């Protein structure tokens, strides 16, 4: 199976499972009181029908290194995707990045209104922890509790939420390249790190294997973000399905703007080498993870 | 010790532990990048220095029924309070209830701006699950995972978040008394239920004891809300520390408006009897929980 076929296959499996996790039964559809169906519909709008599902893919492929079957990593992968989708919904809000288009569709607050968008984000975040703590995710409660702890740390006030706060802070306009890198390690890196660590947790890996995956995730996150910034600097909105060059318009220099395009491309190449080196302990088993970081670095949308 | 002394003592213990859980070390205070301290400061503003801490109190007193020491229930109680505080922050947002005053102080988005308020709410919700899944909360991972599952269900799209969505729905203006009661059971009742169930989980209670506490929590939640609505109908803003009669101004009939003040007071009396009956299996051990529901029903602010 080629890498792209594998990526699409996993995306379909994630879509299917999310669809089931967000299913509204007929009673729910009517709501416990009038007006009860809208929240679930908004959550479905935010979580279904889009995205490359890269984070779930990383989680599933990391778990596979240790012999964990895809079906046994799918729930944790969906929990992670719920957190990613909630973060997009809240980041798009008028008070935050004020984005009207996401994945080629109106953003959630445009489609459902701002109050429902705030609540649907809250509920997707909460659902992530409901999924992780469910026995269907893993029979061992110690594994479930560890996944919850890791995801809460990755998403929370020392992780993704802090990254977004830094990106919105007044100081952001004066950030050095180092500051931007640290911010991005939190804002987007923390969830990539969780993806790889969760695979290690599900696979009961050794500490050194887990550390290797964390190293890979770090290089992956930086490469992903640099590629994103390069696309943003050069890209066109219709191919990306979202607005481009918005950071620049807001006076927020990206790493690409601070380093220059040539240096950024060189750095991207170095990050690919770092990712490859981090995967060395896994040998040929890690071929898909290696292809994933190459894909993330070289994608055109 | 009188009931009020006990309530205040537990509120102090909760405040202290939340203060510790939200402590920012000197490095954190500077932030990993410039601008990193504000999020934590906003979370502290939202979670510290106010409130009767009724939900933590219910959790701690429910756990005490089964011989669980206060110190061993305190972390779970603080996690619950984090969810309560996040819900207040998000409910107060301009797009939601648009409230400017809470506990006699400016609401979080007034004090810190809307983006930080959204993020601080998100981060408090996330922190709740970080706390619950921490070994300090309970040494047994099965207990930790069960607490996470219960809190996620109570706060999520079939619980509190749905209740808030119903309250904001266009259909809200036409709600019957039954619809309002169902909405309130979700919007405020679900966390009271979690408080009592978490006590049963920590105490490894029998299923029938847990069911008795759930029954108590249901009566408690309804009584609390009726008392709130009665205060809102009759109250003055300076004593309550928040705006009054806002529901009426928005064309949202409360249960008191739909039933009338006299019938609402009668219903409150019946709920107190129901709560007392639910506690019967616990005998004298449940005296504090009985006093708590009486306090919630008869409070003047």
- Decide: helix, strand or coil at residue A69: coil
Residues of B whose CB is below 8 A from A114: 95
Mean pLDDT of A212-220: 98
Q: In angstroms, what CA-CA distances link B103 with A99, A112, B160?
A: 33, 31, 21
Query: What ipTM score was computed for the predicted complex, to two decimals?
Result: 0.95
pLDDT in tens, A259-268: 999 999 999 9
Alpha helices, H only, chain A = 3-21, 26-30, 38-47, 54-64, 70-91, 108-112, 114-132, 141-155, 160-168, 177-187, 189-202, 207-234, 237-240, 246-249, 255-259, 261-279, 287-298
How far does A129 lie from chain B, in Å, by closest CA?
Answer: 6
Average pLDDT score over chain B: 93
* Distance from the B188 Cα atom to the nearest Cα atom in chain A, whole angstroms: 15
Q: Tens digit of pLDDT for each residue in A125-140?
A: 999 999 999 999 999 9
pLDDT value at B169 more than 80:
yes
What single DSSP character describes residue A49? S
Contact residues on chain B for A82, CB-CB shorter than 8 A: none
Residues whose CB is less than 8 angstroms from the CB of residue B170 and which lie 6 or more positions away in sequence, other chains included: A35
Instruction: Test B115 with A123 for CB contact under 8 angstroms.
Output: no
List, for residues B254-277, the tens digit of each pLDDT value. 999 999 999 999 999 999 999 999
Question: What local confidence, expressed as pLDDT, does residue B36 receive?
Answer: 79
> pLDDT tens across A258-298, in order?
999 999 999 999 999 999 999 999 999 999 999 999 999 99
Q: What per-residue confidence (pLDDT) applies to B32?
A: 59
pLDDT digits (tens, 9 = 90+) for A90-120: 999 999 999 999 989 999 999 999 999 999 9
| Bridge partners for A105 per DSSP | A102
Please tell me the predicted confidence (pLDDT) of residue A115.
97
A interface mutation test: which of B89, B114, B123 has the most A CBs within 10 A? Answer: B123
For residue B239, pLDDT beyond 60: no
User: Among residues B46, B135, B115, B119, which one has the least CA distance to residue A142?
Assistant: B135
Probe site for chain B from A29, A31, A33, A86 (most B CB atoms < 10 A)? A33
pLDDT band at A88 (very low <50, low <70, confident <90, very high): very high
Which residues lie below 8 Å from residue B102, measured CB to CB, with a gap of 6+?
A: B88, B92, B108, B241, B242
- Cβ-defined contact of A156 to B123 (cutoff 8 Å): yes
Return the residue in B92, B120, B157 with the most chain A beta carbons within 10 A, the one to mutate for interface testing. B157
The mean predicted confidence, pLDDT, of chain A is 93
d(CA A289, CA A58): 7
Q: Return d(Cα B201, Cα B59) in angstroms, integer.
A: 10
Question: In sequence order, which residues have a C-beta less than 8 Å from that of residue B19 and are 6 or more positions away?
Answer: B44, B48
Residue A65, pLDDT above cutoff 70: yes
- Is residue B206 within 8 A of residue B170, CB to CB? The reply is no
Asked whether the predicted pLDDT for residue A149 surpasses 90, the reply is yes
- Claim: this prediction has a pTM higher than 0.90: yes
- What whole-number percentage of chain B has pLDDT above 70? 93
Does residue B31 register a pLDDT over 90? no
- Judged against a pLDDT cut of 70, whether residue B224 lies above it is answered with yes
Contact B115 A96 (CB under 8 A): yes
pLDDT tens string A170-197: 899 999 999 999 999 999 999 999 999 9
Q: Which domains does chain A have, with CATH numbers?
A: 3-298 (1.10.600.10)
Measured between CA atoms, the residue of chain B closest to residue A83 is B126
The minimum CA-CA distance between B249 and chain A, rounded to whole Å, is 19
Distance of residue A143 Cα from the nearest chain B Cα, in angstroms: 8
Torsion of CA A39, B259, B265, B60, to 10 degrees: -10
pLDDT band at B72 (very low <50, low <70, confident <90, very high): very high
């Amino acid at each position: 199976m080629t890498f792209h076929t594998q990526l699409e296959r996993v995306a379909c499996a994630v879509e299917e499972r999310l669809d089931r996790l967000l299913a509204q039964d007929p009673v729910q559809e009517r709501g416990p009181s009038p007006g009860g169906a809208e929240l679930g519909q908004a959550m479905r709008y935010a979580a279904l029908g889009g995205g490359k599902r890269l984070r779930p893919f990383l989680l599933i492929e990391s778990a596979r290194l240790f012999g964990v079957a895809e079906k046994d990593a799918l729930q944790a992968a969906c929990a992670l995707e719920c957190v990613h989708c909630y973060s997009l919904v809240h980041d798009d809000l008028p008070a935050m990045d004020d984005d009207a288009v996401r994945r080629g569709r109106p953003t959630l607050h445009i489609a459902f209104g701002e109050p429902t968008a705030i609540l649907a984000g809250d509920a997707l975040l909460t659902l992530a922890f409901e999924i992780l703590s469910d026995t269907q995710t893993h029979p061992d409660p110690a594994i479930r509790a560890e996944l919850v702890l890791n995801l809460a740390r990755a998403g929370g006030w020392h992780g993704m939420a802090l990254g977004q706060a830094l990106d919105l802070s007044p100081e952001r306009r004066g950030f050095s390249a180092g500051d931007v890198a640290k911010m991005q390690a939190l804002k987007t890196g923390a969830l990539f790190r969780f993806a790889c660590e969760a695979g290690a947790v599900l696979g009961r890996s050794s500490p050194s294997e887990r550390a290797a995956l964390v190293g890979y995730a770090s290089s992956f996150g930086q490469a992903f973000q640099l590629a994103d910034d390069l696309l943003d600097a050069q890209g066109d909105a219709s191919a990306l399905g979202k607005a481009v060059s918005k950071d620049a318009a807001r006076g927020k220099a990206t790493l690409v703007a601070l380093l220059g395009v040539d240096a950024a491309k060189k750095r991207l190449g170095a990050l690919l080498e770092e990712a490859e080196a981090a995967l060395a302990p896994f040998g040929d088993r890690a071929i898909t993870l290696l292809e994933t970081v190459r894909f993330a670095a070289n994608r055109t949308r």
